[in-house]
Amino acid sequence: MDASMLQFLFQLAKGLSRQFGPNCEVVVHDLATNDQDSSIVAIENGSVTGRKVGDGPSHVVLEALRGGRENLNDHLCYLTRTKDGKILKSSTIYIRDDDGAAIGIFGINYDITLMLAMEENLRSFTMTDTPQQEPERISRNVADLLDELIDQSVALVGKPVALMTKEDKVKAIQFLNDTGAFLITKSGDKVCKYFGISKYTLYSYIDEAKG
């Protein structure tokens, strides 16, 4: 890699490491020299893996050095583990020459060990005895509650009011009756208006649903 490319990669590594903090290691490998003992030419936050400039390659770098560099693909967002047990979210991006051959590697390794532990603790705190497809909504007032019950009745039927048949509306009214929607003051008026039916029709639908 020429000096201008290396300088750009060094600046990019420094910028990303500052942006994402000390848990984000950014490393540049120079593959052009074929030096298998000292491929790291720049590293920021090397304490994540305990590496420094001049250190040798990882297995990913060795893979690149074995040949066939034109066929290498970037490896993004995969998990790695350090010798001391840290879990890292890693990405390996190949730097290529004009012919498409890999001449360098730009690597990002983010230590997510603590985040994984927090995730596990949060999961144990938020899980419930009965799995739910969707969290129960908490309404601010009875008007909102009635709106939500009407929305649920429409979702149950599976089509908008304009396309509902009499049977569809009976099914929706039955749901509203079963969920106690008509215990809400003046709910009948709102339901009638929403479904485009009269009070008489509403009562007949309720009776039909009961039957």
Full set of structural domains in the chain with CATH: 3-113 (3.30.450.20), 142-210 (no CATH)
39-48, 123-132, 134-143, 193-202: least confidently modelled range: 134-143
Q: Is the pTM higher than 0.85? A: no
How far apart are the two ends of the chain, measured CA to CA in Å? 82
In the three-class reduction of DSSP (H, G, I as helix; E, B as strand; rest coil), residue 173 is classed as helix
* pLDDT tens profile 39-51: 899 999 999 999 9
Kindly report which listed range (116-130, 169-183, 191-205) carries the lowest average pLDDT score. Answer: 116-130
Residue 202: Cβ-neighbour burial (10 angstroms; 0-12, 13-18, 19+): buried
Q: Tell me the mean pLDDT in the region 72-80.
A: 89
At 56 the pLDDT is 77
